[in-house]
Amino acid sequence: MKKILLIGGDDVLLNELLDYGDRIGGFDVSRLTDYSNLAAGQFDLVIMDSLAEDISPIAIIKTLAVLSPMPAFGLLMTHEDAGKRIQEAFFQYARAKGIRHTIKLKYPLFFGDMQALISRSEQHKDTQRTKVPLQINTDMLRAAIDQREFKVHFQPKIALKSQHVIGAEALIRWQHPNLGMIMPDAFIPLIEECGLMSEMTWLVLEGALEQVWEWRRLGYDFKVAVNFSASTFSTPGISRIVLDMIRAAHLYPDCLSIELTESAMVQNLDILLESLMELYKNGIEISIDDFGTGYSSLHQVSVIPASELKVDQSFVRDMLDNTVDHLIVRNTVRMAHSLGMRALAEGVETKRHVQALARTGCDEAQGYFYSRPIDEQAFRAYANNNPVREVTRYFNLNKL
């Protein structure tokens, strides 16, 4: 049964929620009494009437942002037009605070809205699937690395015009023998804390390059994207290490794209710029990840030698019913193009997103609409069953 907390809203709304819950298997809905019940309640979902008296959405968002697990957040708008700009601002604020699953609700509630709300809270649970036990320490992480419990999954990147698969992003998972699959958000901060980040990155890079070689062998001209954290990026001699690994895998540097988040870039620009330049000069592509969440200036973006800008999924997700997000996506695509970069939209979940993105001139897309991140075998099956960019320059070893 889903635990829902309702903040503000009248009895009609409460009854509607309960009614709806009865039809799909039940909600446990409670009303906010004070902040301690919000913090202690472990809710799946918090729905707030934006006109609730005496309570500011900002204060609620601040409280939600420090909860673990963090509930999904729905903001109910009773007036379509009045105060719309202010309500948009609440959403931007929630996102800046790291609340990833937000939804705009209109009063009265509609079946479709409720379904979206439920699926948002499901996805939310999905991303917080497994919590790492607190007793995890450096030795255990070390052992997990040695036992090869970390696996690389691949999510296809698609060219929007041709709808061809053009590559994949490598995303790490921890296949724990007892806990099952642990998602990166749950263990990457620990890896970073224990000083094992670079080691993990080389592992992912090695696995990713192995797959590129395998793809080449099968006739696919796919590029692979690997996520680098700022700490890995500041490793001395990083471009040498990466280039040596590419050479050892019998590949060319242009098969690799390195993703670095906008916020990591901005915070460390002076330190990273030299490595970025070095990699770029050697033919490795740089991609700015989570763009729109890191407060970079136009000047900073223009000096970074990046070829791709990844529009953060929070803007893409809400672009269909949020004019501000639509504007942000459209103008980010324009900005990318005017700086000579490609734009990729992350978090593409529906055909309507694909259509709206195509109209903005966005070049590439990635998201559940095409495929979730999948293991190497499933990725090969995906490539086999979908239109792909084929090898043009490399030998197709199958045909030799």
- Contact footprint for ligand C2E (CB under 6 A): 123, 155, 171-172, 183-185, 188, 201, 204, 227-229, 289-290, 313, 347-349, 366-368, 373
Q: Please state the closest distance from residue 229 (CB atom) to Ca ion, in A.
A: 11
Q: Which does 110 bind (CB under 5 to 8 A by kind): ligand C2E, Ca ion, none?
A: none
Determine, following the binding rule CB under 5 A, whether residue 332 of this chain makes contact with Ca ion.
no
Select from 55, 35, 51 the least CA-distant residue to 43: 35
List Cα–Cα distances, 390 to 95, 158, 213, 343, in angstroms: 38, 13, 14, 21
Q: Are 224 and 287 in contact (CB under 8 A)?
A: no
Q: Please state the closest distance from residue 192 (CB atom) to ligand C2E, in A.
A: 8
Angle at 242 between CA 236 and CA 248, to 5 degrees: 135
Q: Please state the closest distance from residue 130 (CB atom) to ligand C2E, in A.
A: 11
Rg (CA), the chain: 22
Q: Are 76 and 48 in contact (CB under 8 A)?
A: yes
Residue sitting closest to ligand C2E (CB): 367
Nearer of residues 259 and 325 to Ca ion, judged by Cβ: 259
Binding residue for Ca ion, selected from 102, 227, 239, 332, defined by CB under 5 A: 227
218 Cβ neighbours under 8 A, 6+ residues apart: 380, 383, 398
Task: Give the pair of three-digit tokens for residue 67.
Answer: 């909860």
What span, in angstroms and rounded, lies between the C-alpha atoms of 263 and 295?
7
Binding residue for Ca ion, selected from 44, 221, 262, 290, defined by CB under 5 A: 290
Determine, following the binding rule CB under 5 A, whether residue 308 of this chain makes contact with Ca ion.
no
Q: Which does 171 bind (CB under 5 to 8 A by kind): Ca ion, ligand C2E, none?
A: ligand C2E
Q: Are 293 and 317 in contact (CB under 8 A)?
A: no
Q: Which does 87 bind (CB under 5 to 8 A by kind): ligand C2E, Ca ion, none?
A: none
Angle at 161 between CA 299 and CA 391, to 5 degrees: 95
Q: Which does 123 bind (CB under 5 to 8 A by kind): ligand C2E, Ca ion, none?
A: ligand C2E
Nearer of residues 49 and 262 to ligand C2E, judged by Cβ: 262
Determine, following the binding rule CB under 5 A, whether residue 285 of this chain makes contact with Ca ion.
no
- Stretch of 84-92, 156-164, 240-248, 287-295 contacting Ca ion, by CB under 5 A: 287-295
Q: Please state the closest distance from residue 346 (CB atom) to Ca ion, in A.
A: 5
What span, in angstroms and rounded, lies between the C-alpha atoms of 120 and 129?
14
Binding residue for Ca ion, selected from 289, 318, 364, 376, defined by CB under 5 A: 289
Nearer of residues 66 and 181 to ligand C2E, judged by Cβ: 181
What span, in angstroms and rounded, lies between the C-alpha atoms of 309 and 298?
13
Determine, following the binding rule CB under 5 A, whether residue 259 of this chain makes contact with Ca ion.
yes
Region label for 340, one of left (φ > 0), alpha (ψ between -120 and 50) or beta (otherwise)? left
**How many chain residues interact with Ca ion (CB under 5 A)?**
5
Binding residues for Ca ion, rule: CB under 5 A, are 227, 259, 289-290, 346
